[in-house]
Structure formats: C-alpha cells, structure tokens
Amino acid sequence: MTICESISDIQDVIANHRFNGHTIAFVPTMGALHDGHISLIKAAQKKADKVVCSIYINPTQFNNAEDLKNYPRNITDDIKKLESAGCDILFTPSDDIMYHTSSTLKFDFGELDKVLEGAYRPNHFSGVALVVSKLFHIVQPDFAFFGQKDLQQLTIIRKLVYELLFNIEINSVQIQREKDGLAMSSRNGRLNPKERKEAVIFYQSLTTAQSLLKSGADRSTTIHTVEKLFEGHLAQLEYFEIVNDQDLKPRHENYLRPDTVLCIAGYIGNVRLIDNMYLIS
C-alpha cells in the first residue's frame, strides 16, 4: 500500500494509475477503522481497479471540542487493517494541508441539514461538505463509498455531488453490526463494558419500531413506544424519527414503502451514537 501525506504525492500516484487506464474508487474516513470501514474497502474493490482511502479527522465537523479531542486515533492499527484488506493507496493529510488558512466557507443544504442530526449538531454538515469537497477535488475518483449508518451524511453528499457537478458515482454500503446488533462505530471503543452492553437498546428500539409499523401501528404509537423503552435506561434518547430517505422529511402514512427509514440517536455515558434501519429490508 502506498501512503501519501501531501496533495502532490497522492495526485502523482493517482495520475500514474490513470495513465495505465485504472479506475479509482475512494473511501474517506476519520480513522479508528473497524469492519464497517473494511466493508467499504471491499465494496470499492469490486467496482474499481484501485482503491484510495483517506484518514483525516476533520475539525470543522465537530460541534464539541471535547468530542474532537477524544475521537479515537490509532494510525498504526489502521494501516495494518488497510494493508490486510488490500487497499492500494492511503492519504493521510495534516490540518495544515487541508486547512492552510482558517476557512470561513459555509454550505447550506436548506432543510436537509436542519433536521435529525442537523437539529442537534448545527454546522456539522457544512464541515462535512467542506472536507469532502476538498478530498473529492484532490483525489478526483470515479466512485466514492459511504456507509448507510451515516444516512443523513450520505444524502447530503449526494446533494453536494449533484449541485457541484462532481463526476463521481456515490455508492452506499449497508450497516455492519456486532453480534448483538449494535451498529459498528469508531465511537463504540469509548464505551465502558456496562455502557457497551446497554448500547444495544438503539438497535432493539429500531427492530421494535419496525415490527410495530409492519403490524399496522401508527406513527404516534410507534414513537411513544420507543420513548418508553428509554425511560430509566442508562442511555438517553435524543430523537427517533420515521422519514423517507430522499429528503429526510417525516413520514406520516403509507409507511410500508422501500424508502421509509427509521432513524435514532442518543447518548450513553458521554458517547453519542446514531443508527438507522429501513422499514422494509
């Protein structure tokens, strides 16, 4: 695996592959890699000749300075995982490279970045869009891969690509879960043993809601049931919503459609977790 730290280095490496007729797939990450990330690498390998992964913890998408400080970092372990997975190129830029001056550029996606995560993390998706735009400009891939777990991020990146005319095909990969159903996340490593055991409530809430809606329950009943599951629990619910996956607007009827998705977020201890599940899967 070729490791590049500068823009010129990675662009030279990619240009050489382009000269040889290779297509390029790109998997942007913030490191602390797990099997969910590796599933993106594997999906990208099926689509393109060469796979580029980036590891960069983007400061502009963090609302909480403490969260940025505590975000897990283990580049040595990440490199080993990527090499084992057969990744071709790793890009590891520094803050000085990605933000050589203090950026004042902001993105506004209308209602799309004001709901769900956007309601609790103002300007988060502006930071995501900014760094993804920079990375797309640097790598110029044919394909890019993102996980379904960050559904709102995926929806916004699709909008970004459409609006800015990036010639990139965006691909999503389904959520990878632990044996008890907990969605794989870099933040799971910050949970203590008791918190980790109790964190499964987020997955259990989704499956409970899925069963209720499939059996004919209405929106109000389903949301109330999920809220009751968290009463007296170690985890704290921030939101549970039933939306469509195109514009993330609440769905109030006709739930049994392939674009209906259940979204949930909350805290357990000091760790914030998100998850989602399509009603028909």
> DSSP for 179-210?
TTSPBP-GGGGGS-HHHHHHTTHHHHHHHHHH
pLDDT in tens, 195-250: 999 999 999 999 999 999 999 999 999 999 999 999 999 999 999 999 999 999 99
61 is in an annotated binding site: yes
CA nearest neighbour of 206 among 277, 135, 122, 127: 277
* 24 within 8 A of 94, measured Cβ to Cβ: no
11 is in an annotated binding site: no
* pLDDT average, residue stretch 72-78: 95
Contacts of 115 (CB under 8 A, 6+ apart): 152, 241, 243, 248, 249
232 is in an annotated binding site: no
257 is in an annotated binding site: no
Find the range with the poorest average confidence among 65-69, 145-149, 151-155, 188-192.
65-69
* pLDDT average, residue stretch 117-143: 96
32 is in an annotated binding site: yes
Phi, psi of 243 (to 5 degrees): -135, 170
152 is in an annotated binding site: no
Question: Domains in the chain and their CATH numbers?
Answer: 2-173 (3.40.50.620), 186-275 (3.30.1300.10)
The reply to whether 224 belongs to the active site is no
Separation CA 232–CA 236 (nearest Å): 9
Q: Quick one: what percent of the chain has pLDDT higher than 70?
A: 100
Give residue 104's pLDDT. Answer: 85
Q: Quick one: what percent of the chain has pLDDT higher than 90?
A: 94
Separation CA 77–CA 90 (nearest Å): 13
Q: Strands 143-147 and 24-29, how do they pair?
A: parallel
Catalytic one of 37, 100, 224, 233: 37
DSSP string covering 80-128, please? Answer: HHHHHHT--EEE---HHHH-SS--------GGGGTSTHHHHSTTHHHHH
35 is in an annotated binding site: yes
The dihedral sign for the CA sequence 221, 277, 68, 98:
negative
Phi, psi of 17 (to 5 degrees): -65, -40
Give residue 101's pLDDT. Answer: 81
Tokens of 90: 């790793």
73 is in an annotated binding site: no
* 109 within 8 A of 125, measured Cβ to Cβ: yes
Bridge partners, residue 263, by sequence: 241, 276
Q: Is the pLDDT of residue 100 over 90?
A: no
pLDDT in tens, 34-60: 999 999 999 999 999 999 999 999 999
* 258 within 8 A of 278, measured Cβ to Cβ: yes
